[in-house]
Structure 1
Amino acid sequence: MLGESGQAAGSGEQGEDVPASPLPPAPSPDPCEISPRSVVEALLFVGRPEGRPFSARELAAAMRGVSPHEIEAAVAELNGHYERDAAPYEIAGSSEGYRLALRDDFRRMRDKLHGRIREARLSPAAIEVLSIVAYNQPITAAAIDELRGVPSGAALAWLVRRQLVRIDRPPDEPHLPRYCTTERFLRLFGLESVGALPRSEELEKL
């Protein structure tokens, strides 16, 4: 009986189901691979103050061993990816650089949500100062005053508040700010870049 009971006990232990130890989960691939393409996309997503674009050289400088030519290739690759996915945005390029922008079909949705950009009502002094900045940028306040023959501080401050003019501080002369036009200036006046501004010979034909 002892032998039988021992055998029975042994057979009972052999027949019992022992739960297997769970296998450790397989490591998942990193969903956010750091590459020149992803860095370019991240920088353009964050953007710069006043919507200023990034030049290819500036984007390349944010990474080690990446050339401006590789930035152009990354932008083309990203735009191809956005187009295949029917994304509502794209990387818009101009002579000043790149920025992330909504496609034309989606801009009216933005306008409905945030309201259209109001046309700026410019005083004669503001128009004169804005014209001087547009055609001579980057330019100092002292140079603007000299060209006009009168102080221009109030008009400049108004244009900066309306985001039509921005202040740049060169690293070598941060105490001597320069004034330049903004992306909003280009949008309001329907220009692709400051290079599209009419020249004197064109104005004479009007």
Structure 2
Amino acid sequence: MNIHNWKAIIEGLLFAAGDEGLTSKQFCSVLELHAQTVDDIINEMKLDYESESRGIRIIEIAGVYQLATKKEHAPYFKKIMETPMNNTLSQAALETLAIVAYKQPITRAEIEDIRGVKTERPIQTLVTKTIIKEVGRVEGTGRAILYGTTKEFLDYFGLKSIEELPKLPENTSEESVQEEADLFFEKFVEAFEDLP
């Protein structure tokens, strides 16, 4: 395999890893390459990304490589982050929001146990849009963040309080729970489409 293929694979791995990033050791394990080869490829990629035509770069923090945006573009990122909610949420974000709404306060690990997949990005999206927020920390080792809904959540869905959420069915089959969840997510989508 040539260097361009390795660069493409590393770029894809970094993108998939998101904020968690990857260590040189993880790259070596996945790519079955020596550490020096991985370091050489990443260093060459860093130089490639320094071009003015590129909007991202590779950073290394505490031995972990991540994709990051360029600092000189920060004013544009700030504008997009400050823009009020103007689009619908992804299915993953809606599922995460429904779990938080019904199970709050809840940790990311608990959400992931329910969804069966990672939820870092959906949580980040919901926090950025001020629909959920940190409401505390779990006592004990690690002190995981607890998430809950915000006043904005209630405003968006026209609720006076969290108690106005539709009641979940009790003692139902897995199939009917899935149907209820699908219906609930459809209502979420419709509510967000009606927002200005």
Note whether the superposition's TM-score is higher than 0.5. no
TM-score (norm 1): 0.39
- Greater percentage in helix: 2
- Greater percentage in strand: 2
Q: Which has the larger radius of gyration?
A: 1
TM-score (norm 2): 0.41
